[in-house]
Amino acid sequence: GHVVRNWKVRWFVLLQDKLLYYKIEGGKKEPSPKGRILLDGCTIICPCLEYENRPLLIKLKTKTNTDYFLECCSREERDSWALDITGAIHAGHPVQVQELHRMKNSFKLLDNISLHDIVERMYDSNTGIKLTRNLDQGNRYKETFTGSALVDWLISNSFAVSRFEAVTLASMLMDENFIRPVGTRSTEATRFSDPSEKFLDDSTALYMFAENGKKNASSKEEVQFNISELSGTIVKQGFLVKQGHKRKNWKVRKFVLRADPAFLHYYDPTKEDNKPVGGFSLRGCLVSALEDNGVPAGVKGNVQGNLFKIITKNDIHYYIQASSKAERVQWIEAIKPLT
């Protein structure tokens, strides 16, 4: 919200000169927009790093200096929205739009490599990146690495062929919250540098694995539990509507589907901490579409259409609604191989 700084799920529609957003009730978009963002004179910042726990943000500043923060489900979705919004802002300048498309396609991660694979290799005790203690203005940081060290490591392990590609790749790791800046040099760069230069190929810029800086885990067991469930490769993610187990009410949740290990977690997108509010192993689960001709058994409220059900091996039933039949099919096809 641009008045009260809370987070709400909204359905966005991009028009030629404005961005409309709608409330979602019962899994459906309300007919009238809740608000609009006029794009004339807007400035867009992407990626926006003002919220540490929300690395997938787009920031829009209107010509009246009103700030809007929009969170997406994935880096690809964020970049796609940012490109289209920028195109709408600069609709009268086709040369700028062409340059944006060229820049977007100037670097692509190898098809057979994921960011998760790179981070896993970075953690390797023998061949991974070397972690050291470093000082910055009197502060002692444990298990850090410098920007130039990471660039060297990415090139030596054939993840990049040039320092430009390595810096771009390191920026992606930071955007996805795998690594984070610590110390004055690297932190200041994220705030004031051009987005393409926010990661520094510099021997005085310090970085660390994002999870090393977390202080909110209550015990060693909790850390191990989180790592075991949340370390899998993200297969699919997006917003769906889920029926609660106790109140049987329907709420929008951000779902993240992971493989190896196979888990489905869901998050409350209005919360700041970006932690799952629930989740379950997919091993032994059954997933199926529900008929659209009325309210199925087990579903409370007048919620119809695009529903599917997941039954865990412990016989817990989850009722979930997609925004369309096509999206429902995509989720079911993504989940089935992991059961």
3-state secondary structure the chain: CCCCCCCCCCEEEECCCEEEEECEECCEECCCCCEEEECCCCEEEEEECCCCCCCCEEEEECCCCCEEEEECCCHHHHHHHHHHHHHHHCCCCHHHHHHHHHHHCCCCCCCCCCHHHHHHHHHCCCCCCCCEEEEECCEEEEEEEEHHHHHHHHHHCCCCCCHHHHHHHHHHHHHCCCEEEECHHHHHHHHHCCHHHCCCCCCCCEEEEHHHHCCCCCCHHHHHHHHHHHCCEEEEEEEEEEECCCCCCEEEEEEEEEECCCEEEEECCCCCCCCEEEEEECCCCEEEECCCCCCCCCCCCCCCCCEEEEECCCCCEEEEECCCHHHHHHHHHHHHHHC
Q: How many residues does the chain have?
A: 339
Q: Taking 60 as the threshold, does the pLDDT of residue 290 lie above it? A: yes
Determine the Cα–Cα distance for residues 148 and 137; give it in Å rounded to an integer.
19
**In this predicted structure, what is the pLDDT of residue 18?**
92
Q: Which fold has domain 10-104?
A: PH-domain like (2.30.29)
Q: What residue ranges do the domains of the chain occupy?
A: 10-104, 115-209, 227-336
Domain 227-336 falls in which CATH fold? PH-domain like (2.30.29)
- Distance of alpha carbon 306 from alpha carbon 324, whole angstroms: 6
Could you say which of 3.20.20.120, 3.40.30.10, 3.10.129.10, 1.10.10.10 is the CATH number of the domain covering 115-209? 1.10.10.10
Q: Nearest-CA neighbor of 186 among 139, 223, 136? A: 136
User: 123-132 pLDDT, tens per residue?
Assistant: 988 889 998 8
pLDDT at 319: 92
Q: Please give the residue that has the higher pLDDT: either 26 or 202.
A: 202
- Same CATH fold assignment for domains 10-104 and 115-209: no
Helix axes 115-123, 163-175, angle to 10 degrees: 100
Q: What is the mean pLDDT of residues 19-23?
A: 93
pLDDT of residue 98: 58
What pLDDT is recorded for position 213? Answer: 42
pLDDT exceeds 90 at position 189: no
